[in-house]
Amino acid sequence: MNARLIKETRDLLPVFAGTLLLIVVPQLIWQAAGFGCFALGVACVVLAGSSFGNEFQHRTLSLLLSQPIPRSVLWRDKMLVLGAALVASVAALLVCLAVHRPQTESTEWLVLLFLPLCAFCGAPFWTLSLRHGIGGMVAAVSAPGSILATLLLINELLGREVTDQLFAVCVVLLLFYCALVYGLGYARFKRLEVVDKPARELALPARLETILVAPLTRVSARFQGPFATLLKKEFRLQQTSFLLTGVFLLIAVAAFCLTQRRPDVAVGILGGDIGVYVLIMPLIAGAISVAEERGWGMAEWHLTLPPSALKQWSAKMLVALSTALGLGLLLPTAMGLAGAALLGRLNPGVPVLPVAQILCWLIGSLLLTSVAVYGASICGNTLRGILTAMVMVVAGCALTAWVVNRVVRLAANQLAVGRMSYGPRHELANQVQAMVPVLLSLGLLLMVCVVQWFAWSNFRHFRPSARSVGTQLAAIYGALGLLALGIPLVIALALLRHGSG
């Protein structure tokens, strides 16, 4: 293997390892139909966007282009490594599907074909056009998705059913799209000129930033003082989160406009919009708060400022957690309730959720944001921070599911052997239903404290060693395993005490 292929492989290897875990681990514990395709789609888009996005993030693209090597050779090497990574990802998913679901439908084969193909052809073009990786990933998903959505909408407006001819048209359009963007991407790379300068990985267009930020600048000028300045700086870092919220609101408004004529379509659009937004928003808000300054090379310099490191961290977490909680949970909840009321599906007789269940959702959102903060504290850029957080969440869910499953089986056997009387079943169910949210809230709160503590430790030392990161991860998952073990045991012991009494 020549030096160029080794360089491209080493550059893409961390992302490939993370996406491979994202594909394989959920299939081992949760064989839900369609989730494997979703994981593969995320993996393909992240890999394809990282191929050129890493060059922009690390400002090494000009060094790559200045080599005395034809650009066609550079393009070929990058695409060879990217193609090999995508093929390996598809092969990993196919092995998992062959083990758990030997028979695969024809439509699923098409999805498995076009997910890596659209990412392979489209993400390089969009990344080179927008000049940052995450923007290229979003565009690589949005462009073919928009083509399919427009075609399906036209077909529905014409009152036609989904037939094999429609699938054939979709296949032809996607093949044409892939050929077009691949050619455009290669042509853009051939004539690309780059001037290296510090740039944000997630940034608004200059004109849009001027329009949106100018009014907020006039309002924030009234607030003075060191801590207020830190807060304003952190809110400026979160401007991409506010842009994402604007996109979410636009899609929700479009769904509301379809409620009268196409209520089923409106429900699908609004549900998908809320689901994706709730998952993505905490990750972006948390990762941006730490990773952006590391990407600029300013994190060490900020620690020399007069405000203490604790005060700077407090400002970061106050803005990041409040943004993720307000925009990532409270706003989608309000939009969902408004949509249900508008569609006439809001039942006034449904009781309000108990306080403990509400706390579970709130603390869960804070935990997801904290995991993104921790992921960014051990990575060098926003993309890797988000990917690390996703892998940590998947691994944590796998560990929790495995431990809880074992404990529940053991507890069920012990309760069956005990032959104890627990009174009416509805009374027993009410007791368990009341205990679980309280214990879960306490467990999630403890995990938030553990993850935040380690993220704060990494923020102070800036570059944690591999040994330190390994120890932290062991402590995090050890605490998670103890909680997954302890909560079912506490419930079982309470039931045994109630039965013996």
Residue 350, pLDDT score = 47
Residue with tokens 């990532």: 328
Burial tier of 270 (Cβ tally within 10 Å: 0-12, 13-18, 19+): buried
Q: Is 172 left (phi over 0), alpha (psi -120 to 50) or beta?
A: alpha
Residue 191's alpha-carbon distances to 4, 49, 70, 94, 264, in angstroms, are 20, 19, 12, 38, 46
Query: Mind listing the pLDDT tens digit of every residue in the chain (501 residues)?
Result: 577 788 888 888 888 887 887 787 776 666 555 667 777 888 888 888 888 887 877 777 778 888 888 888 889 989 999 999 999 988 888 887 777 665 555 566 777 788 889 999 998 998 888 877 777 887 888 888 888 777 777 776 666 665 667 778 888 888 999 999 999 999 999 888 765 554 554 555 555 555 555 665 665 666 667 778 888 888 888 877 887 787 788 777 777 776 666 666 667 777 777 777 788 888 888 888 888 777 666 766 776 777 888 888 888 999 999 999 988 888 888 877 776 666 565 555 445 566 777 888 899 999 999 999 998 888 867 777 888 888 888 888 888 888 887 877 776 665 555 444 444 445 555 666 677 788 888 889 999 999 999 999 888 876 778 888 889 999 999 999 898 888 877 777 766 666 555
Give the pLDDT confidence score for residue 422 in this predicted structure. 46
Q: Which two tokens stand for residue 464?
A: 């944690």
Residue 433: per-residue pLDDT: 67
DSSP 361: H
Number of C-beta neighbours around residue 103 at 10 A: 7
pLDDT given for residue 478 in this prediction:
92
Tokens encoding 59: 């400002």
Largest interatomic CA distance in the chain: 83
Scanning 191-225, the segments in alpha helix (DSSP H) are 206-220
Q: In Å, how far are 206, 213, 233 from 217, measured between CA atoms?
A: 15, 6, 11
170 CB-side CA count, 13 A: 22
Q: How far is CA 126 from the centre of its chain?
A: 20
Task: Calculate the CA 33 to chain-centre distance.
Answer: 20
HEC string of 260-279 equals: CCCHHHHHHHHHHHHHHHHH
Angle value at C-alpha 396, between 393 and 402, nearest 5 degrees: 140
Q: The tokens of 453 are what?
A: 């503590």
Amino acid letter, 444: L
Q: How far apart are CA 252 and CA 239, in angstroms?
A: 20
d(CA 370, CA 282): 8
pLDDT of residue 450: 93
